[in-house]
């Protein structure tokens, strides 16, 4: 009996010691990678063509969540980047699109006139994360370590560097295409570090960059520049070399620009992902060298997917088609004019499958807003290519299918998201603003836009996969649990227990 009790006591002490040891353990570096407009099925489509050093290394030796979905609409770049790192949706972090309205004024998601550009004189430098109202993984990491951890974001797009890095980041760097250099804003610093000034000098002399100019985003060469920059940040800022965990946020945007122009099929898209695979291999090798193979944690995901080109679909007898906001706006305009006997131009904007009313004009005419919303809703429901529509303030009581209603609610931030939302039929998407005749776009709830890759690799990540449904908002709490730090302050996601157990 005594021996049994002693054995149980030793087991308990061993488990307690193991738990305490696990809490004390931490990776030297966390690397978050977002691939703009990457569909989940690209992992299998290109698997046999990938090298062993890039995507396949993450897939074969890491953990893949094969059923990761975006749980809000619209599925847009800025929203996706914010949601990955805050662990929540626009309803809580406030980033409702690349552009949205604040106090009736159309606002770019990262625009900030209180700051100045650093590294050039471009207006593109007047950016910050101030419009985002929630904290990120990096913010929580900085808080946990009394701001000793370094957190830095890097991307072609300003929003893809700024929003992931968060409010308290040490830096966020993005490309100024006009001046062919990386820049930042006075939100982070007053001048660029010397190493970046030297790197920028090399960039301005880069013949390929100079030749491509503002079309660099349509070239796989863009991914190489972002990778080079990430490796420079890693080395010159000595990430992963200190006493506390650091974080590097990297976003690849060329895949989005190439997709908008050339679509989800064809040589250009193929080249983009195979070149990205090689860039990922270079980045992982740099991490091995700088931090050590077992000392860093990586996650890779996307901000959204993309629809197949509608003409490509129709050629193969699949339902699809173009939807043009300008034409619909005119039809609704005329219908309202006939109904109420007044000038019907009360729609201020149509953006990301949402309608923004012109409140000033409505109030000036003394019209009742609720009546105007109902008029527009009735017209939307007559549109042949629109499957569902609703008034935002009536969403909770609407007859929308629950899967769509929930995503619309999670994407709605009062005062920023507009007044009505609508959903085109599957395969139909807005044509003309962000897509070429051969290209594609995104923004809807459907799997082609909402099913994204979600890979974890490295420190304490088991090898394997799950088909259990998880959400884009589950990434942040998973990382935070692995780091044993508090989740971001508006986090609504849940840790993926297959990884954190």
103: buried, middle or exposed (CB in 10 Å: 19+, 13-18, 0-12)?
Answer: exposed
In sequence order, what DSSP letters do the residues of 350-382 get, joined into one string? Answer: EETTEEEE-HHHHHHTT--HHHHHHHHHHHHTT
Residue 112: which of 97, 123, 101 has the closest Cα? 123
Q: For residue 241, give the DSSP letter.
A: -
77 classed as catalytic: yes
Residues 6 or more apart whose Cβ sits within 8 Å of residue 32: 84, 85, 137, 164, 247, 248, 249, 250, 298, 299, 479
Q: Give how far the C-alpha of residue 8 lies from the chain's centroid of Cα atoms, to the nearest Å.
A: 49
Degrees, nearest 5: CA angle 147-96-172: 35
Cα–Cα distance list, 157 to 15, 254, 482, 489 (Å): 47, 9, 29, 25
- Dihedral of alpha carbons 68, 74, 76, 78, sign: negative
Cα–Cα distance list, 417 to 304, 400, 497 (Å): 18, 18, 33
CB 88 within 8 A of CB 132: no
3-state DSSP: the chain helix, strand, coil percent, rounded to 5? 45, 20, 40
Degrees, nearest 5: CA angle 366-369-371: 105
| Set 75, 77, 441, 478: catalytic member | 77
Q: For residue 216, give the DSSP letter.
A: G
- Dihedral of alpha carbons 257, 262, 268, 269, sign: positive
Cα–Cα distance list, 318 to 69, 200, 265, 335 (Å): 23, 47, 15, 32
Question: How far apart are alpha carbons 43 and 56 in whole angstroms?
Answer: 9
Neighbours of 23 (CB within 10 A): 9
Query: What backbone phi and psi angles, to 5 degrees, belong to 428?
Result: -95, 135
Question: How far apart are alpha carbons 68 and 475 in whole angstroms?
Answer: 10
In sequence order, what DSSP letters do the residues of 193-214 get, joined into one string? Answer: -HHHHHHHHHHHH-HHHHHHGG
Query: What backbone phi and psi angles, to 5 degrees, belong to 297?
Result: -115, 130
CB 249 within 8 A of CB 152: yes
Supply 499's token pair.
């990884």
Question: How far apart are alpha carbons 456 and 70 in whole angstroms?
Answer: 17
Residue 159: which of 67, 113, 92, 95 has the closest Cα? 95
Return the active site residues: 77
């Amino acid at each position: 009996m005594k021996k049994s009790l002693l054995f149980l006591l030793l087991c308990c002490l061993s488990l307690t010691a193991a738990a305490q040891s696990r809490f004390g353990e931490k990776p030297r570096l966390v690397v978050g990678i977002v691939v703009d407009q990457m569909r989940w099925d690209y992992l299998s489509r290109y698997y046999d063509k990938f090298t062993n050093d890039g995507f396949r290394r993450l897939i074969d030796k890491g953990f893949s969540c094969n059923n990761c979905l975006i749980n809000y609409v619209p599925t847009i770049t800025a929203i996706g980047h914010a949601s990955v790192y805050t662990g929540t949706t626009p309803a809580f972090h406030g980033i409702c699109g690349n552009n949205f309205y604040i106090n009736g004024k159309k606002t770019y998601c990262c625009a900030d006139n209180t700051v100045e550009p650093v590294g050039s004189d471009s207006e593109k430098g007047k950016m910050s994360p101030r419009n985002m109202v929630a904290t990120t993984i990096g913010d929580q990491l900085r808080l946990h370590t009394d701001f000793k951890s370094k957190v830095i974001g890097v991307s072609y797009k300003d929003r893809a560097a700024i929003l992931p890095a968060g409010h308290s980041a040490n830096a966020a760097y993005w490309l100024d295409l006009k001046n062919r250099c990386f820049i930042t804003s006075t939100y982070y610093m007053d001048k660029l570090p010397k190493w970046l000034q030297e790197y920028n000098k090399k960039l301005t002399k880069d013949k390929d960059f100079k030749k491509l100019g503002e079309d660099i985003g349509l070239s796989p060469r863009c991914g190489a520049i972002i990778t080079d920059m990430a490796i420079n940040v890693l080395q010159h800022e000595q990430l992963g070399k200190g006493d506390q965990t650091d974080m590097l946020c990297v976003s690849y945007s060329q895949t989005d620009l190439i997709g908008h122009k050339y679509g989800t099929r064809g040589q250009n898209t193929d080249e983009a992902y195979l070149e990205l695979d090689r860039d990922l291999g270079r980045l992982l090798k740099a991490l091995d060298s700088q931090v050590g193979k077992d000392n860093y944690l990586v996650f890779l995901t996307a901000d959204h997917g993309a629809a197949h080109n509608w003409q490509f679909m129709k050629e193969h007898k699949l339902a699809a088609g173009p939807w043009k906001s300008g034409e619909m706006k005119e039809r609704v305009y005329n219908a309202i004019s006939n109904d109420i006997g007044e000038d019907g131009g009360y729609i201020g904007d149509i953006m990301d499958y949402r309608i923004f009313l012109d409140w000033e004009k409505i109030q000036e005419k003394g019209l009742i807003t609720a009546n105007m919303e109902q008029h527009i809703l009735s017209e939307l429901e007559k549109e042949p290519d629109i499957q569902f529509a609703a008034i935002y303030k009536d969403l909770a009581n609407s007859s929308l299918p629950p899967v769509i209603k929930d995503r619309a609610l999670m994407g709605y931030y009062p005062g920023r998201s507009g007044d009505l939302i609508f959903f085109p039929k599957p395969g139909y998407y807005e044509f003309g603003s962000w897509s070429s005749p051969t290209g594609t776009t995104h923004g809807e709830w459907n799997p082609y836009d909402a099913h994204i890759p979600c890979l974890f690799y490295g420190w304490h990540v088991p090898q394997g996969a799950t088909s259990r449904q998880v959400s884009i908002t589950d990434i942040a709490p998973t990382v935070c649990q692995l780091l044993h730090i508090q989740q971001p302050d508006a986090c609504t996601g849940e840790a993926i227990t297959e990884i954190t157990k």
